[in-house]
Amino acid sequence: MPEKARRPTKRAQHLRTNATEHERLLWLELRKRRFNGFKFSRQIPIGPFICDFVCRRQMLVIELDGGQHSANVEKDMARTRFIEAAGYRVIRFWNHELKENLDGALQAIGTAIEACPPPGPLPAGEGGL
């Protein structure tokens, strides 16, 4: 595989290994299907972007934003538009919001999951018995 094609995956691996305090806090709630049985993955490439958390089944992306994002509003908007064009819904939390009100953030994630359309049947041979 060419080096360029591996870069997002290598970067995602690096980000998983070096998660922020806020990412670790939310991951403890989302990992191993702890959140209402939904499977979340972290640091997942979607196009050129690496998303903090993704629930592929519900096509939901969760992004955590630190203070640096207040200076990059246009970039974040373009990133969100790209991810939404790929069929995902995006919800964002500021790091301080997550730390101050984790329960509220989890409730918002639950609401976003409920608002996602139910997934269609899996293709033949996938996920069945």
**Token pair for 34:** 């702890």
Q: Would the pLDDT of 1 be above 80?
A: no
pLDDT tens per residue, range 82-102? 999 999 999 999 999 999 999
Q: CB-hemisphere CA count at 13 Å for 78?
A: 7
- Residue 5 reports pLDDT greater than 50: no
Residue 13 dihedral angles phi and psi, to the nearest 5°: -60, -45
For 25-73, write each residue's pLDDT tens digit: 999 999 999 999 999 999 999 999 999 999 999 999 999 998 664 567 8
Helix (H, G, I), strand (E, B) or coil at 91: strand
- Which domains are delineated in the chain? 3-115 (3.40.960.10)
| CA-wise closest residue to 106 among 28, 26, 52, 33 | 26
Nearest partner of 58 among 77, 39, 42, 30, judged by Cα: 39
Q: Token pair for residue 56?
A: 């592929």
Gap between the Cα atoms of 123 and 100, Å rounded? 42
Query: What integer pLDDT is reported at residue 124 of this predicted model?
Result: 57
Contacts of 95 (CB under 8 A, 6+ apart): 20, 22, 64, 65, 66, 67
123/93: higher pLDDT: 93
Whether residue 129 has pLDDT greater than 70: no
